[in-house]
Amino acid sequence: MCGRYDLNETGSRIRVKFGVQQLPIIEPSADVRPTEMRPIVRLTRHGDGRECVLARWGLVPHWAKDIKFGANCINARSETAATAAAFKDAFQRKRCLIPATAFYEWSGEKGRKTKWRITVRDEALFAFAGLWEWWRDPGKPSEPGVETYTILTTEPNDLLSDIHDRMPVIVFETDYDKWLNEGSPELLRPIPSEAIEIAKA
């Protein structure tokens, strides 16, 4: 599970890294939490480029009756996302990249847990593989809809396996187009141990 992450980058570095022309107003945060509005990068409607928009963390499928549904969908298991009811439509048509500078995991006994900060070596800014959806409250059809997202997870690499049994899928910059355009299953793997660094938060 990935329940907290860090995004301390704004402005030009996100624009350059992800190849987008325009950016929404992005507030840096060292502790991004579910239900917050955070940037995602996706293909434009016509598929001729990328765009960056703000979306709410916790995917809510279009058929959900309540936005609270998203609390159960902050992560999606990459092994089953293509067939799970909440994610299968987004997996086919609504893939995204989620900018991040670190993510957090905890280990140890309840009440005495150690918080770990995990970064990508030589990548101050990187991307999780994600899915997004658009949802409108069926009880308020005249109100605007909201875009939501989830982070795909996979089995941990050897370095993280002692801390947690899952880790977010991290997409290298050379694979951004492959994920957004094709959703290639071979990208849904743990990042190599030598590519990450772990430190106490």
Q: Of the listed 2, 52, 73, 96, which one is catalytic?
A: 2
Q: Which residues pair with 133 in a beta bridge?
A: 148
Instruction: Say which DSSP state 185 is in.
Output: G
* Catalytic status, residue 105: yes
Q: Which of 57, 52, 54, 56 is nearest to 13 (CA)?
A: 52
Phi, then psi, of 51 in degrees rounded to 5: -135, 155
| Cα→Cα distances 19→22, 98, 126, 170, Å | 9, 13, 13, 17
Q: Of the listed 52, 73, 96, 105, which one is catalytic?
A: 105
* Catalytic status, residue 155: no
Residues that are catalytic:
2, 105
